[in-house]
Amino acid sequence: MEEQIVRLTVNGEEQQVRVPARQLLSGLLRDDLNLTGTKRGCETGVCGVCTVHLDGKPVKSCLALAVQADGHQVTTIEGICGPGKALHPIQKAFMEHGGLQCGFCTPGFIMLTAALLARNPDPSEEEIRRELSGNLCRCTGYTGIIESVQVAARAMAGERKQ
Ligand code: FES
Ligand code: FES
């Protein structure tokens, strides 16, 4: 099988990986770099559990080939913690406000939320619902997720004022 070298930056670290030409970005992250916080679900772009940031924009990593990330920056759930692995305010909000139950969908929702709040720090509930509509959760009924995003937005606004 044809292989290619992919050079990319993942969570701030430069990586060079030899992958089959058809390797998915989700496979590179999980299988080659052992970053298993990015989940593998439908692998057809429906569920969003594989969401990561590619150059700051959310992408479903099961829909991208690893070679498409060559020369680019990828951030995964492992890369959004603060110094000393302190929880990101979004992670904290999801934990404390019913944003997760089994947690399988959570990395994807957190990465999507991080991208939303970077672009729009004060989204309306309608904007949050629209932005998150591409990811699925079988457990929470979404109410806790929406509340968690709102709490995280307020917490991050507070941090910026300090
Ligand atoms: S695993 Fe990528 S969208 Fe479901
Ligand atoms: S918390 Fe279980 S799928 Fe979302």
pLDDT the model gives residue 104 = 98
Best residue among 42, 106, 136 to mutate for probing ligand 1, ranked by most atoms within 8 Å of CB: 42
pLDDT the model gives residue 85 = 82
pLDDT above 80 (res 29): yes
pLDDT the model gives residue 63 = 98
**39 CA closest ligand 1 atom index:** 1
Between 160 and 18, the more confident residue is 18
In tens, the pLDDT along 56-85 reads 999 999 999 999 999 999 999 999 987 788
> In the chain, what are the domains?
3-79 (3.10.20.30), 83-161 (1.10.150.120)
What Å distances lie between residue 32 and 15, 35, 54, 65, 96, CA to CA?
A: 10, 8, 17, 14, 33
Bridge partners of 5, per DSSP, are 18
What count of other Cβ atoms lies within 10 Å of the Cβ of residue 113?
29
Q: Beta strands 3-10 and 57-60: pairing type? A: unpaired
